[in-house]
């Protein structure tokens, strides 16, 4: 894995982190110190592939990008894009959850939703938001249909200022219970 570093017109493509540190030390404005060196080394050793930018002073940064490119020309022509690299487990864990919402599977679902409910405080006569946990069993065709049915039910029964989470977020969960007969 190579590193591309750029600070204004100064740029380089290096094959190891020591060369990257030497490049950064050659630019006096950056003010290379032990903390910055350790952070650059940690970034190079990690399996994170997004570009990293470091603040030099207000609105002035230098960037470090991991790349598969062997030469600066390959990097500039974007010949070493990371399309064939395996996906990280964090990304793969998110996709199935979102995909499960749309799967058509008629039957009974148990839907759990955590939302902000507006309630009246009797002592003051004012309203406040309260975290509310709601669980319901319903007939639905998919996880998204289960979410829509629960939200429709709640909208008729709670204050219209209550705040409901997205179906894609962590505050909605569903479980398929079985086919209806």
Interval 107-139: pLDDT, tens: 999 999 999 999 999 999 999 999 999 999 999
Mean pLDDT of 169-176: 91
Predicted TM-score (pTM) of the model is 0.48
Task: State the pLDDT at residue 74.
Answer: 83
Q: Is the pLDDT of residue 3 over 60?
A: yes
Burial of 114 (0-12, 13-18, 19+ CB in 10 A): middle
Confidence of residue 145 (pLDDT cuts 50, 70, 90): very high
pLDDT at 44 over 70: yes
Q: How many residues make up the chain in this entry?
A: 181
Phi, psi of 140 (to 5 degrees): -155, 170
The neighbouring-strand residues paired with 107 are: 140
**Tens-place pLDDT, residues 50-92:** 888 888 888 889 999 998 888 888 888 877 665 544 445 555 4
Spell out the alpha helix ranges (H) of the chain.
17-25, 34-45, 72-76, 89-102, 143-155
Q: Whole-number mean pLDDT of the chain?
A: 86
140 bridge partner residues: 107
Q: Provide the phi-psi class of 160: left if phi over 0, else alpha when psi is between -120 and 50, else beta.
A: alpha
């Amino acid at each position: 894995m190579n590193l591309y570093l750029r600070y204004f017109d100064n740029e380089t493509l290096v094959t190891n982190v020591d060369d990257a540190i030497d490049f950064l030390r050659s630019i006096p404005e950056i003010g290379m110190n032990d903390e910055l060196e350790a952070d650059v080394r940690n970034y190079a050793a990690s399996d994170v592939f997004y570009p990293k930018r470091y603040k030099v002073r207000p609105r002035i940064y230098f960037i470090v990008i991991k790349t598969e490119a062997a030469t600066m020309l390959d990097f500039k022509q974007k010949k070493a894009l990371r399309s064939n690299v395996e996906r990280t487990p964090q990304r793969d864990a998110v996709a199935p959850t979102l995909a499960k919402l749309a799967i058509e599977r008629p039957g009974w679902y148990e839907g759990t939703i955590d939302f902000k409910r507006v309630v009246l405080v009797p002592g003051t006569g004012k309203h406040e938001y309260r975290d509310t946990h709601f669980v319901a069993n319903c007939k639905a065709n998919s996880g998204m249909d289960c979410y829509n049915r629960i939200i429709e039910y709640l909208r008729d029964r709670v204050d219209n200022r209550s705040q409901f989470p997205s179906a894609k977020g962590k505050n909605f969960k569903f479980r398929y219970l079985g086919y209806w007969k």
